[in-house]
Each structure stands twice: as structure tokens, then as C-alpha cells.
Amino acid sequence: MFKRKRSKPAKIQTLIGLKTRIDGDVEFAGGLHLDGNINGNVRAAAGPGAILSVSEHGCIEGSVIVPSIILNGVVKGDIDAAERVELGPKARVLGNVYYTVLETAIGAQINGKLLHRGYLAAPSDAAAPPEGAPL
């Protein structure tokens, strides 16, 4: 009845391995897959098509600003995704999630707020939802 259109999976150009730990900010272009740990902020370079994939072993301690993220690991910080957020069954977010499209599997956990980017771009208070209204 309903068929979901899946975009082509992005090509992963960068892999951070399971036993790798990076202390500092990371900026990337294209696709980045994380199996290790990053203690710093992660940001995609300007331009469309960048995607961050974090496996169940991956952990980021810092904020994430990317167009799209596929998360099955841990992010201890805010996630700001201009396009898409996919949370797998082992995903853990300890921070707010700013999203346009959100897909969550059963078991994913978010300890923070879910903030749809459409509400953030509201031009006036009249277009914003009333205080205390469910999102």
C-alpha cells in the first residue's frame, strides 16, 4: 500500500575504525562511517549529499551538524540534520535532535527534545504552535 522511496545510499569515503579515538573536531565531505570514538564536534563540509553513519560501536561526545545521519550508536550532544535523521534500534542520543525527516526504530532512545526544523523557521509567533501544545 505505502511504499517508501529510498534514496541511493551515499558512498562512504572515510572510515574511522573500532579501535580509533579522535580528540578534537572533525569536518568531512561525502560519507563518513564511524565505528570508533570522537571526542569533539562533527560537521559536514558545506554542500549537499554528506552523510554520517555511526555503528552500534560508535560514540560521539560533541554536537553533530550534518545533512543526514544514520545512527545506531551514541551521540552525547545535539544533532542538527538539515535533511534526515535515521535512528536504529541501538541508537542513543543525549541531547536535542533538530530534524526535517525523522525515522526511528523500536528501541532507539532520545534524552532531549525533538525539534522539527519547520517550526524553527516560522516567520512569526502566529505560525508557531501554542505554548504547551504537543508536537
Q: pLDDT tens digit string along 73-120?
A: 999 999 999 999 999 999 999 999 999 999 999 999 999 999 998 866
Q: Which residue has the higher pLDDT, 133 or 83?
A: 83
Query: 16 vs 4, which has greater pLDDT?
Result: 16
Residue bearing the bigger pLDDT, 126 or 116 = 116
Phi, psi (degrees; rounded to nearest 5) at 126: -65, -30
From the number of C-beta atoms within 10 Å of its C-beta (0-12, 13-18, 19+), residue 127 rates as exposed
Check whether 6 has a pLDDT greater than 80.
no
Per-residue pLDDT tens for 38-66? 999 999 987 778 999 999 999 999 999 99
Q: Looking at residue 1, what is its pLDDT? A: 46
With a cut of 50, say whether residue 126 has pLDDT above it.
Answer: no
pLDDT at 48: 73
Residues 6+ apart with CB under 8 A from 118: 100
pLDDT for res 90: 97
* Exposed/middle/buried for residue 49 (C-beta within 10 Å: 0-12, 13-18, 19+): middle
Identify the pLDDT of residue 4.
55
Residue 82, classed as helix, strand or coil, is strand
C-alpha atoms less than 13 angstroms from C-alpha of 43 in its C-beta half-sphere:
7
